[in-house]
Amino acid sequence: MIKQAATINRKTFFICLTLFIFCYLFNGISSSKAVAFADENTGKEIQVSNEGKACIGCHEMRSPAFIQEWKTSRHAQLGIDCYSCHQADKSDPDAMQHNGFTISILVTPKDCAKCHPREVEEFTKSHHAQAGDILNSLDNYLGEIIGGKEAVAVGCKQCHGSTVKLLANGKPDTISWPNTGIGRINPDGSKGSCTACHTRHNLSKAVAREPRICSKCHMGPDHPQKEVYEESKHGILFEFNKEQLGLHKDTWVVGKDYTAAPGCVTCHMGSTPNQQATHDVGARISWTLRPPISKKQEDAEKKRNAMKNVCRNCHTTSFVEGHYTQFDNLVNLYDGKFAKPATFMRNELMEKGKLTKADFDEKLDWIYFELWHHEGRRARHGASMAGPDYAWWHGLYEVAKNFYDEFLPEVKHIAGNELYDELSKKYLESDIRHEWYTKGMSKEYLDNIRKFYQQRYGQ
């Protein structure tokens, strides 16, 4: 045991030493070092560059909190200081002069890639890095035009990311900054913000592994992953067993370094005994549940197998297969029974000139939007993450209620009886699952319900 611990310590030392040397050479940190202060955790002296010492000396007085956070970071332990990350070349688009130094306020994935190339490469291929593309989507039309740009700046773009604009002196324009949106479009051409998850200036792995860091964005009526996770057994166990999970550990392999519960990182990004961690958050997601009608991802089987590899560290194969069968069944139910008929009916109304092709200018547009964007997503996410209340009451129940009670009556109002009958035969009567609505429940079925209520409730 002692021999194994010594081997791990030596390995950790050489990894840290290699990382420091790499960053030192790559970033061009000044070769003249100055002892700045003692590490409050270890009592050891922290070595920083002369440039970094100048930064710390000033900001310790002006903004001491983030200096104290930095002091507790792994960066500080390795001598990676303010200037290591914020230094800029005069030719950089976001370069600015600051007290005799050329720096950039923004630290972008391109900067982080100097020391973390694999992580940035994985992130750049991920859906997270493309989150800023909302600027060209229907959601952005809803926010910018119907809502207002001011709401988008403090709402949508704080999660999806803004396009950072610069003033003539190189400082970010306050119209687009501050912003740590995960798909932020940076002046240097890179996409993303590493500090969306690795918060400044401690940049702790433990914070990034904490589900609450994800819930800044993954919550609410249209994508309630936070709420679904918290009601699931996974979320309950994480909260109860948090002290046993070793969130601060250098290695975090499920089934080896921790076993009590999974967090978001465990399933979507984390290491298993035979699968390395990834910063491509979509590498294990097999469905796209965002659009009105769900879509299988490219390489869906490969991605699902990668996720199943995580699941099998805590569950048997039959348990995992059962979960995915039930999940797929719910997605197919939503798509086939509700999403496709609603989408096809609305499309036909537009083709026949009964609806305009503009979005949100008629009542049916709003009903349809919430049917898939809010209610349909809640149902699908609930099923995917084992959150029963979101799969049904907050999800498919709301889908069904608004499909039958709001969407179809509005279709009939717009179409008129003749066209509605045509649409109904085409999209409803051809599916036996709508028979209760198109033909009514049978007398036998109603009698069985009455008997059940009489026996159970005496009424």
Does residue 178 sit in the same domain as residue 266? Answer: no
* pTM, to two decimals: 0.88
Q: What angle do CA 290, 294, 298 make, to 5 degrees?
A: 90
Pick the range with the lowest mean pLDDT from 52-66, 132-146, 191-205. 132-146
CB 384 within 8 A of CB 391: no
Q: Please give the residue range of the domain that contains residue 374.
A: 218-428
What is the per-residue DSSP string for 11-63?
A: HHHHHHHHHHHHHHHHHT--S-EEEEEE-TTT-PEEEEEHHHHHHHHHHHHHS
Give the per-residue pLDDT at 42. 64
Does residue 324 sit in the same domain as residue 420? Answer: yes
At 332-345, the pLDDT tens digits run: 999 999 999 999 99
Burial pattern 192-217, b for ≥16 Cβ within 10 A else e, equals bbbebbbeebbbbbeebbbbebbbeb
| Residue 439: inside a domain | no
At 149-177, the pLDDT tens digits run: 999 999 999 999 999 999 999 999 999 99
CB 142 within 8 A of CB 131: no
At 345-402, the pLDDT tens digits run: 999 999 999 999 989 999 999 999 999 999 999 999 999 999 999 999 999 999 999 9
| Residue 391: inside a domain | yes
Give the per-residue pLDDT at 104. 97
Of 86, 116, 138, the last residue of a domain is: 86
At 93-107, the pLDDT tens digits run: 999 999 999 999 999
- What does pLDDT average to over the chain? 91
Give the per-residue pLDDT at 162. 93
| Residue 452: inside a domain | no
Q: Which carries the bigger pLDDT value, residue 14 or residue 411?
A: 411
DSSP assignment, residue 280?
Answer: -
Phi/psi-derived region of residue 49, left when phi > 0, alpha when psi is between -120 and 50, beta in every other case:
beta
Q: How many domains does the chain have?
A: 3
| Residue 75: inside a domain | yes
Does residue 334 sit in the same domain as residue 392? Answer: yes
Give yes or no for residue 187 having a pLDDT over 60. Answer: yes
Give the per-residue pLDDT at 17. 46
Structure tokens at 207: 């914070």
At 257-309, the pLDDT tens digits run: 999 999 999 999 999 999 999 999 999 999 999 999 999 999 999 999 999 99
Give the per-residue pLDDT at 23. 45
Give yes or no for residue 437 having a pLDDT over 60. Answer: yes
| Residue 444: inside a domain | no
| Residue 123: inside a domain | yes
Average pLDDT over residues 6-35: 46
| Residue 159: inside a domain | yes
Give the per-residue pLDDT at 45. 79
Of 35, 58, 86, the last residue of a domain is: 86
Does residue 348 sit in the same domain as residue 416? Answer: yes
Does residue 423 sit in the same domain as residue 293? Answer: yes
